[in-house]
Amino acid sequence: MRIVSYDFEDERDYGFLILGNSVIPRDFLESALGMTLPRDVRDLLPDRELVELIESVINKVPVESISLEELHLGPPIPNPGKIICLGLNYLDHALEAGMEPPEGMPIFMKPATALTGPFDPIIKPRHVEKLDYEIELAIVIGSRCRDIEPKEAYENIFGYMILNDVSARDIQFRDGQWTRGKIMDTFAPTGPCLVSKEEVGAPHNLRMLTTVNGEVRQSSSTSNMIRKIPEIVSILSQGVTLEPGDIIATGTPAGVGVFQKPEPKLLQPGDVVEMWIENIGTIRNHVITIE
């Protein structure tokens, strides 16, 4: 299953991507099924019986659809309760930053206001001098859980998407902590869709690629994560309730702009950042500034 969030005729809704370029809107599927579907995609995720019913219908029963080109895609989960991001979870990235892999699991959080769609602009604030990119596999929680063991992690995950952890390096490094340089508006492009874990398959063997203006910057695999997904979800659930729609970004591999050799290659207005993760898709964002 591939879920997209979109704006159509001034209303936000969600639907189901089929055949690569068509979307069955939620209300179209309601009519076909003769039943009401949750209005908020977060309420759909934990209802496994309903999810299985939808999966059995969308590719087998004729249901009216809309071309993807007619829709403006937003972030697949537009209103998460939490966006939790891991730092230094790829060995090569820790080494390029001149740091040892952490003994613990450093995290920071982004607000929902940082989210933007998979093809929307990244806004470079005028006061930011060193804008950077980070490709990350993002987990989306499917059911409410707390204090779970690693072996229970996958049953509480709905699926995955791409998240670009856009970062203002000058602010991040000057502050001595990461949050303020990573929470600005549009600093979390996500998408292009929320792909169910069943469709993604093995999440630790996915190729990842970032290009800027067509130049390859990051080329890696999720197999290079230091902490794997079951451990990540288990640790984050310790004393913390994870809820449907919560997003967990699992870290970035080497190749970020600030550590490019022989000199940094940071984002500038006019640049196009494209990120692809195997079995998930591509997000593409132009960098702009607002005077």
Q: Tens digit of pLDDT for each residue in 254-274?
A: 999 999 999 999 999 999 999
What is the tens place of the pLDDT at every residue in 40-54? 999 999 999 999 999
- The fold of the 83-288 domain, in CATH, is Fumarylacetoacetate hydrolase; domain 2 (3.90.850)
Q: What pLDDT, on a 0 to 100 scale, did the predictor assign at position 171?
A: 94
What is the tens place of the pLDDT at every residue in 154-176? 999 999 999 999 999 999 989 88
What average pLDDT does the chain have? 95
State yes or no: pLDDT of 178 exceeds 90. no
Q: What is the DSSP string of the chain?
A: -EEEEEEETTEEEEEEEETTTEEEEHHHHHHHHTS---SSHHHHTT-HHHHHHHHHHHTTS----EEGGGSEEE-SSSS-S-EEEESS-BHHHHHHTT-PPPSS--EEEE-GGGEE-TTSPEE--TT---EE--EEEEEEE-S-B-S--GGGTGGGEEEEEEEE--EEHHHHHHHTSSSGGG-STT-EEEEEEEEEHHHH--TTS-EEEEEETTEEEEEEEGGGBSS-HHHHHHHHTTTS-B-TT-EEE----S--GGG-SSS---B-TT-EEEEEETTTEEEEEEEE---
Q: What is the mean pLDDT of residues 28-36?
A: 91
State yes or no: pLDDT of 62 exceeds 80. no
State yes or no: pLDDT of 222 exceeds 80. yes
pTM, two decimals, is 0.96
Which residue intervals of the chain bear CATH 3.90.850.10? 83-288
